[in-house]
Amino acid sequence: MTSSFPPDPGHDLPVVVIAGRPNVGKSTIFNRLVGRRQALVADTPGVTRDRKESETTVRGRRIRLIDTAGLEEAAPDTLFGRMRASSESAVAMADLVLFCVDARAGITPADEHFAAWLRRQGRPVLVLANKAEGRQGAAAAMEAFSLGLGAPLGISAEHGEGLADLMGEIADRIPAGPLHPRRAPRRVESEDEDGDVRPPGPLRLAIVGRPNAGKSTLLNRLLGEERMITGPEPGLTRDSVSVMLHDDEGPIQLVDTAGLRRKARIDETLEKMSVSASIEALKMAEVVILALDATLGVHEQDLQIARLIEREGRCCVLALNKWDAVEDRNVTRQAIRDRIEMSLSQMRGIPVVAFSALTGAGVNKLLPTVRRAYEVWNRRVPTGELNRWFEMMVSRHPPPLVQGRRLKLRYITQAKSRPPTFILFGTRTEQMPEDYQRYLVNGLREAFDLPGTPIRLLLRGSQ
């Protein structure tokens, strides 16, 4: 069976492989994604399936989906050995591995061995915690975080829960375009690396801010031509919704420029619209430029938008526009930064760029800053380094007593990036006071150089 895996000539679709222990629901997931009851699903582990591969469409993208269930022909005597033998050749050519575990049964030693082996294969992995239906499901799915392969997605293949999310995740993670050369397995440096994947394609950038901050002028400046909004001519609004820019490092897609233009035309309602419009832009963007009119300082509405950026976990660059009209530049820059950092602890160290969209002075610093912020947002901290830091932090300030008992903190791991998300395992961690959490988050930001990016700290622990 494995001999059918080398790709047929001309068969160059992205390959998505479903792997995991017998009976976790691989075939059920396969059927859900293929949309027909094509594979035989049975309650007995290891039942041979007659169909393990199918082409299917996920969010408009054709993929080749392979179910490794029932491929246990080599049959070494350990369960992990069988899992590995059955999926090795499929995983080697995978553009994405869906590693399935059973959320109800919990993580087993075979899952852990398989996860460690998968990490060494260097293929992108998404952990699916299946059988996570109902209210208990989400919590049960979280346990799969401990596999160190990024944030698990809880689904219930049988009940059809979480399938839309699953399709979105797959579409985000497979290579763009139908044709791509089959790659040799990527070597990973260390086991600390996990399978977190950057969606391929351009960096997605949005410009948000209050009306008259100069967003349209900036957009024109970045595009290097006066073909946008500031004029009143009708028809300008019919341009495409997003525009492509190119800098030294590649393409940058400016999203929601249509929203920008639309708003620029109806001035009276702008104040009310700018916050809700920002939400739309945020959803589509990875990096957000928050544009301020520096002559006006920070307005409550700017903070509201900044809060949204933080809440959505986006990476933010603060743009101080109209710098040509600012008199005392040092004082202004410091006052604006202080106001933002004081109101929003997660914006500490936020990158700030001052320029004049009108004259163009200083605008050239903007995209390099966007790129650097994006790198921070994508950064991964190796688990070893993280735990050495963690021990130091805990010995410097032991966690407080809660109801007379000390919290036990065991270890910390980075579950994902974009934004950097850490999980802390221990006992009664859910009772950790906020100021101790802040101590850890601020410490993470400083120790691992994560300025201005939202950091998520998730707490997992038994009672």
What span, in angstroms and rounded, lies between the C-alpha atoms of 111 and 108? 5
CA angle 423, 428, 434 (to 5 degrees): 65
Q: Interacting stretch for ligand GDP, rule CB under 6 A, among 16-24, 193-201, 300-308, 399-407?
A: 16-24
Closest to ligand GDP by CB, 291 vs 415, is 291
Tell me if 52 contacts ligand GDP by CB under 6 A. no
Cβ of residue 259: shortest distance to ligand GDP, in angstroms? 11
Which residue is it, tokens 């500031």?
230
Tell me if 93 contacts ligand GDP by CB under 6 A. no
- For every residue of 380-410, DSSP letters joined together read ---HHHHHHHHHHHHHHSPPPEETTEEPEEE
Tell me if 25 contacts ligand GDP by CB under 6 A. yes
Rg, Å, the chain Cα set = 25
What span, in angstroms and rounded, lies between the C-alpha atoms of 454 and 459? 16
Cβ of residue 292: shortest distance to ligand GDP, in angstroms? 10
Residue 456 burial (CB count, 10 A)? 16
Paired with 414 in beta bridges are 422
Tell me if 239 contacts ligand GDP by CB under 6 A. no
Which residue ranges are tagged as binding site?
A: 20-27, 67-71, 130-133, 209-216, 256-260, 321-324
List the one residue from 133, 169, 194, 286 that touches ligand GDP (CB under 6 A): 133
List the one residue from 34, 69, 153, 441 that touches ligand GDP (CB under 6 A): 69
Tell me if 321 contacts ligand GDP by CB under 6 A. yes
Instruction: Please list every residue from 217 through 236 that binds ligand GDP, using CB under 6 A.
Output: 217, 230
What span, in angstroms and rounded, lies between the C-alpha atoms of 24 and 104? 9
In sequence order, what are the residues at sequence separation of 6 or more whose Cβ sits closer than 8 angstroms to the Cβ of residue 263?
Answer: 211, 270, 273, 274, 277
How long a stretch of residues is the chain?
Answer: 463
Tell me if 214 contacts ligand GDP by CB under 6 A. yes
Closest to ligand GDP by CB, 298 vs 357, is 357
- For every residue of 253-302, DSSP letters joined together read EE--HHHHHHHHH-GGGHHHHHHHHHHHHHHH-SEEEEEEETTT---HHH
Which residue is it, tokens 């050995």?
81
- State the maximum Cα–Cα separation within the chain, in Å, rounded to a whole number: 76
Site string for ligand GDP, 170-209 (x = CB under 6 A): ---------------------------------------x
Sign of the C-alpha dihedral computed for residues 137, 143, 147 and 150 taken in this order:
positive
Tell me if 136 contacts ligand GDP by CB under 6 A. no
Q: What one-letter code names the amino acid at 438?
A: R
What span, in angstroms and rounded, lies between the C-alpha atoms of 264 and 270? 8
Closest to ligand GDP by CB, 358 vs 447, is 358
The set of long-range contacts for 331-337, using a CB threshold of 8 Å and a minimum separation of 24, is 332/294, 332/297, 335/297, 336/292, 336/294, 336/297, 336/298
Tell me if 154 contacts ligand GDP by CB under 6 A. no
Cα 200 to Cα 149, 171, 177, 417, 437: the distances in Å are 19, 10, 10, 15, 33
Residue 14 burial (CB count, 10 A)? 23
List the one residue from 13, 14, 17, 28 that touches ligand GDP (CB under 6 A): 28
Q: Interacting stretch for ligand GDP, rule CB under 6 A, among 169-177, 304-312, 316-324, 416-424?
A: 316-324
Cβ of residue 163: shortest distance to ligand GDP, in angstroms? 10
Closest to ligand GDP by CB, 81 vs 199, is 81
Site string for ligand GDP, 253-282 (x = CB under 6 A): -----------x------------------
Closest to ligand GDP by CB, 196 vs 293, is 293
Residue 331 burial (CB count, 10 A)? 10
Q: Interacting stretch for ligand GDP, rule CB under 6 A, among 24-32, 115-123, 339-347, 431-439?
A: 24-32
Tell me if 212 contacts ligand GDP by CB under 6 A. yes
Tell me if 326 contacts ligand GDP by CB under 6 A. no
Which residue ranges are tagged as binding site for GTP?
A: 20-27, 67-71, 130-133, 209-216, 256-260, 321-324
Closest to ligand GDP by CB, 335 vs 358, is 358
Q: Interacting stretch for ligand GDP, rule CB under 6 A, among 36-44, 235-243, 298-306, 383-391?
A: 36-44
* SS3 of residue 314 by DSSP: coil
Tell me if 144 contacts ligand GDP by CB under 6 A. no
Closest to ligand GDP by CB, 10 vs 232, is 232
Q: Interacting stretch for ligand GDP, rule CB under 6 A, among 51-59, 85-93, 297-305, 317-325?
A: 317-325
Closest to ligand GDP by CB, 259 vs 426, is 259
What phi and psi, each to the nearest 5 degrees, are found at residue 425? -105, 145
- Which residues lie near ligand GDP (CB under 6 A)? 22-28, 41-43, 45, 69, 130-131, 133, 156-159, 209, 211-217, 230, 264, 321-322, 324-325, 356-358
